[in-house]
Amino acid sequence: MPTPPASLSHPHANRQIRLSSGGRTLRIGYVWTAAERRSVGMRITAEGLQVRAPHWLRPADLDAALQSRAGWIIAKLTERAAHASASPAQPAWSDGAYLAWRGQWLRLSLGLAGRRAALQPLPAPEALHPARRQAGAAAIAALAEPPPVRQVLHLPLPPNAPAPAIAAAAERWLRQQAQARLHESVQHWAPRMGVRPARLALTSARTRWGSASAQGAIRLHWRLIHMEDALFDYVLVHELAHLREMNHSPRFWAHVAAALPDWEQRRRQLRRIALENWLD
């Protein structure tokens, strides 16, 4: 196991703690969220440690709960840091880069006249060129069998457009796709679950794929559109179930299971996905 660094902090940490394990003491910053729950939940994401704890739990008791899992927390954070440092930098955005969309690869093509992006099927499947950027690659890597490239996304940009302009155009198109997919999926799932969201929106939240408010607002991360429809639907169904139960009680999971009997498999798959930064 690699030697852990002196600090393993989440970039958006709102609390810190010193944890000791194996003769080492490390300062760890984490994202803490108070919730209506009975136990402390801990999760390691691509950015670091997230903790959800009962709102009534005393800080000293929360620290004790974290210290009881110190070995696991430090091991997982060290593993995450080692993986991040070993991951090669993504090539720059350019003509011919690849974009993950609904569990498929699209090849970007610049030079389209007009103002609207356009999808075009390829005459034959293509293999990925390893030297080109692969935006959303983690969503494809989570599939049992990564697909070849079958479509081209033509963007209305000059062939020599700078990387930030290409990234911005790709993001605009993906957000439009995510918005359309969100409304389409809600029309399918909401009546089946007996709920009616008051508002639908996309988010760029750093710590969660989706959220539901007591006022009936449903928000999903726009980058869910990278993933296959099964995972998009799982996050949506999860949030719609919160309109019935604003907790994670057995009743809540029963609503999820009634809609998606294989929800546990989908959740495990989703937890393996940590998307790269959009611009780096």
**Cβ–Cβ under 8 Å, residues 32 and 109:** no
Tokens representing 68 are: 């009881």
* Residue 177 pLDDT grade (very low, low, confident, very high; cuts 50, 70, 90): very high
pLDDT-derived band at 228 (thresholds 50, 70, 90) equals very high
| Euclidean distance between CA atoms 166 and 163, whole angstroms | 5
- 30-203-96 Cα angle (round to 5): 105
Mean pLDDT, the chain, whole residue set = 90
pLDDT at 83: 64
Distances, alpha carbon 251 to alpha carbons 23, 240, 254, in Å: 43, 13, 5
Q: pLDDT band for 7, please (50, 70, 90 cuts).
A: low
- Note the pLDDT of residue 81: 75
pTM of the shown model: 0.73
CA atoms within 13 A on the CB side of 208: 17
Does the pLDDT at position 6 exceed 50? no
**Count of residues in the chain:** 280
Residue 141 neighbours by CB distance under 10 Å: 12
What tokens were used for 90?
């993504």
Contact 138, 274 (CB under 8 A): yes
> What mean pLDDT do residues 231-245 have?
97
pLDDT band, residue 2 (cuts 50/70/90): very low
- Please determine, for residue 35, whether its predicted confidence score (pLDDT) is greater than 90: no
Q: Which two tokens stand for residue 57?
A: 């739990």
pLDDT class of 24 with cuts at 50, 70, 90? confident
Spell out where 140-235 has E strands.
Answer: 149-155, 199-203, 210-212, 217-221
In order of their start, the domains of the chain are: 15-86 (no CATH), 98-170 (no CATH), 172-271 (3.30.2010.10)
- Banded pLDDT at 224 (limits 50, 70, 90): very high
pLDDT tier at 3 (50, 70, 90 boundaries)?
Answer: very low
**Are the CB atoms for 98 and 134 separated by under 8 Å?**
yes
